[in-house]
Amino acid sequence: MSGLVILDRDGVVNEDSDAFIKSVDEFVLLPNTIAALVALKKAGFMVAIATNQSGIARGLYQRADLHAMHQKLQAQLLPFGVQVDWIVYSPYLHNTVCRKPNTGLYQSIAWRFGYTNLTNVPVIGDSWRDLEAAIAVGARPILVKTGKGQQTLAKHAAQIEALAIPVADDLLDAAKLLGVTV
């Protein structure tokens, strides 16, 4: 098994907060995140994270704080011999091409990994904007119930059902939906 998988960050990889994740101390991985990332990497997936980070534009934290959070994630994966391949973020508050639900983050991932398109590439998210962006680029959205996933499921149930979007309990369960052995 191999290919690319795109993940949202807050609510998928780590705990989410309506007050934003502003520091390394607030950046706490969800249960099963390490197991899921290790399993995805060992199955041959390239793992990219695409995340809106408007807290930077709001002045709640700096880019250096964000990079420290991502270094913490990579450090926690290091003992298992794996790393997230690329993390791309949108620091903007307003509707820009690179802020989900727009597709710029996903398009930059496609470019980075040499994909001419993202048809059927799994995109795992907890919000409707993650799924919208995935649909817009022809990717294969998967909703997780962690983070804002339960709210997304309740609010967009008809659309999720009509589009046959798979729903997973968490990132590890989503990896299993991709056929990854854990």
Query: How far apart, in whole angstroms, are the C-alpha atoms of residue 62 and residue 178?
Result: 35
Query: How far apart, in whole angstroms, are the C-alpha atoms of residue 182 and residue 180?
Result: 6
Is 10 among the catalytic positions?
Answer: yes
- The two beta strands, 45-52 and 86-90, are parallel
Q: Out of 8, 65, 126, 170, which one is annotated catalytic?
A: 8
Is 85 among the catalytic positions?
Answer: no
Cα separations in angstroms, 180 against 7, 33, 37, 54, 162: 15, 14, 10, 32, 26
Q: Out of 10, 16, 65, 173, which one is annotated catalytic?
A: 10
Active site amino acids: 8, 10
